[in-house]
Structure 1
């Protein structure tokens, strides 16, 4: 158990900070933050975390605790609550929440609140959501059209850019070349 995980268990009383469940608890660092800490992370049940990472599996009944967690004194708990209320389109509770400008920017960082029904979501080969600035690795050798090289399997691609009109494409640098890569051939790295 990491120091942060131990402190999160102390902070929450070893319960999910969203649902109050005691089963299968894991540490979740709230995107786009990447450093596991009390200021960036929450203790959450694995079931809820799986739903955060895979929006199509969201079960509204599992999120009944949002009406309490939205009032948490801990900002990362508030951020996750806001995002899930936005995803579930629970505008009654969402309208009651207050986040200062910086916190609201953090909450909106994943685009959960965008009401674009046709919003393009980029996902890697495992279904993980990709965002601008993420790092990925190639999962197979790719012949690069228009250049005379093959991008090798396992090659890292840092600071990717999403192609906003095509959910199957990202841009990045491989061997110093700026290329377009199909998302089905990349895996997101931590």
Structure 2
């Protein structure tokens, strides 16, 4: 119980990542060899779940790092760096990461498991099969193409898809010569 009390005192009773004050719990990091201090970060239930699940599907949740990343506490700096690394395709996250200065030891710690500490959303087809850039999928239902009178017919093969980076529910592909966004729930990966 002393650990949670120490973390609550250190963090002024708020999540060290988003500053929420509800359902606070420690999130443990693997410390580098010889690290003698606490390797935990006080997180709210939502931040803890996102870190545990490596969930970056809602990048806006992490915008609070704009304020909290300036902490002098190494474990919090490590988590902030890893999250921003995982979101570096977004301009705001890349900008924040470029501003985040870490001493040599903390930087080495942050890179120990990064960027695997958090990862991109996984794109899955209607059957749960993982999708990747360049895959071929088949439409499983007729889809009306927004902004067009065109209908993409069931059974149409979409070759060379592109994953939408910040949304695990969307892919892009060409149907009848037109590039469209398609929801992954309406496609099946071809073997």
Work out which of the two has the higher radius of gyration on C-alpha atoms and give 1 or 2: 2
Distance in structure 2 (CA, Å) of the matches to 1:77 and 1:5: 15
- SS of the residue 2:13 aligns to: coil
Residue in structure 1 matched with residue 23 of structure 2 by the alignment: 24
Residue by residue over 1:87-140, the C-alpha shift from the partner in whole angstroms, topping out at 9 and shown as x without a partner, is 1112111111111221111101112179x99xxxxxxxxxxxxxxxxxxxxxxx
TM-score computed with the length of structure 2 as normaliser: 0.53
Contact map agreement 2:31 2:39 (CA 8 A) in 1: no
Is 1:95 aligned to 2:98, yes or no?
yes
Mark the runs of 5 or more structure 2 residues left unpaired by the alignment: 121-191
CA distance in 2, matches of 1:19, 1:111: 20
Asked whether the equivalents of residues 42 and 76 of structure 1 are also in contact (C-alpha less than 8 Å), the reply is yes
**CA deviation map 1:55-99 (0-9, x unaligned):** 245421221210111100111111111111111112111111111
Q: Does structure 1 residue 104 correspond to structure 2 residue 140? A: no
Deviating 4+ runs (over 4 angstroms): none
Equivalenced residue count is 114
Give the TM-score normalised by structure 1.
0.53
1:30–1:41 Cα contact (<8 Å) kept: yes
Give unmatched runs, 5+ long, in structure 1.
Answer: 118-190
SS of alignment partner, residue 14 of structure 2 = coil
RMSD across aligned C-alpha pairs, in angstroms? 2.8
- Mapped to 2, the partners of 1:22 and 1:46 lie a distance apart of 10
